[in-house]
Structure 1
Amino acid sequence: MDLAAQLAEVDRLRALEFPARRVTSAAVESGPGYHVADLAVSEDFHDADVVRREAVAEDFEAACQALIELLAQRWGEPQPLDLYPYLIRLEEGGQVPPPLDLICGYVSEVYGWTVGDRWMALGIGQGDRELPFQLVLAVGEAGALPSSGGEGRLA
């Protein structure tokens, strides 16, 4: 995985204006107050053996950790955010702010930072055991998160 390209995409999306309405491209979905991007996507696992799937999972974990370490040098240690409560809230008909509403169904936990008026979060998603792994970046308005704090804090 190309760490330099992933870091450049983090910087690009952090600076990119949020659109007034939902816009989707090949690897980025944006809308009012958010961007969600796949920084890397694996192959699917319909015919893959368990060993191959585990190797790819380890590669994605390593790539995510490497990017977290680079971003921690800029913004401090990331704050973990468990997305399961947001998924439950959605399933019960409650409101969840974007982009958490978009990713909580396939990303279980993110690590992120609030920097200025935006927060950035990284996590690994997989919609189903046979689907690809995704290294996911979410960028949102800092005020959209409950209890969002100051610099370097996600929530």
Structure 2
Amino acid sequence: MDIAQCLTLIDLLCAREFPAAHGRTEHGESGPGYHIAALQTSEEFWDGDGSAREETAAQYEADRDGLARRLGDRWGPPHHVSLYSVLDRTLAGEDVPEPWAGLSGHVPDVHLWQLPRTDRWLALGVSQWDKELPFQLLGIVTETDPP
């Protein structure tokens, strides 16, 4: 997906109502108070010496940063929020709301904006569930305040 398509999908997510129940969508998943969309998905990394994984990680972070600059033109610079402490709190049994609890298991940090004149937040993050699995550039729209 090119940057124009990413921006179009982000605009769609920002305008879309949240569902009453968790479920899969054509772009990812949604639940009460949030939408998560995969803006890009890489190949898997089962073979090789790890160099392709490192290059892909760097490229996905660069793509996230490039998209963040475009969104920054609209809403100003993003906040950089680490989700490591959210993961620790979740693992310790704290009831952290979604989408933050789930994201913290595979997205180390996000670029975050509070959308003007709404109660919604937009976050961009790079996800990887495990070292062999693909990277994803995620767009997240939620009405749940970041933890």
Interval containing the TM-score (normalised by the shorter chain)? over 0.9
Counterparts in 2 of 1:2 and 1:48: CA distance versus 1, 3 Å: farther
Q: Distance in 1 between matches of 2:82 and 2:146?
A: 13
CA shift at 1:137, angstroms? 1.3
| Secondary structure of 1:80 counterpart | strand
Which of 113, 138, 142 in structure 1 is aligned with 2:140? Answer: 138
| Secondary structure of 2:98 counterpart | coil
| Secondary structure of 1:121 counterpart | strand
The residue number in structure 2 matching 1:149 is none
The residue number in structure 2 matching 1:10 is 10
Contact 1:99 1:139 (C-alpha < 8 Å) held by counterparts: no
CA shift at 1:105, angstroms? 0.1
The residue number in structure 1 matching 2:121 is 119
Q: Distance in 1 between matches of 2:76 and 2:60?
A: 22
| Secondary structure of 2:142 counterpart | strand
Aligned partner letter, 1:121 = A
CA shift at 1:117, angstroms? 1.2
Aligned partner letter, 1:85 = S
| Secondary structure of 1:128 counterpart | coil
Contact 1:82 1:110 (C-alpha < 8 Å) held by counterparts: yes
Under a length normalisation based on structure 2, what TM-score does the superposition of the two structures give?
0.93
Under a length normalisation based on structure 1, what TM-score does the superposition of the two structures give?
0.88
The residue number in structure 1 matching 2:90 is 90
CA shift at 1:26, angstroms? 4.8
| Secondary structure of 1:35 counterpart | strand
Aligned partner letter, 1:132 = P
Structure 1's unaligned 5+ residue stretches are: 147-155
Measured against aligned partners, the alpha-carbon deviations of 1:53-106 in whole angstroms (never above 9, x if no partner) come to 222112211211110000000000100111011111111111112111121100
Q: State the superposition RMSD in angstroms.
A: 1.3
Structure 2's unaligned 5+ residue stretches are: none
The alignment covers a number of residue pairs equal to 145
The 5-angstrom pairing of residues 1-150 of structure 1 reads 1-115=1-115, 116-142=118-144, 144-146=145-147
The residue number in structure 2 matching 1:150 is none
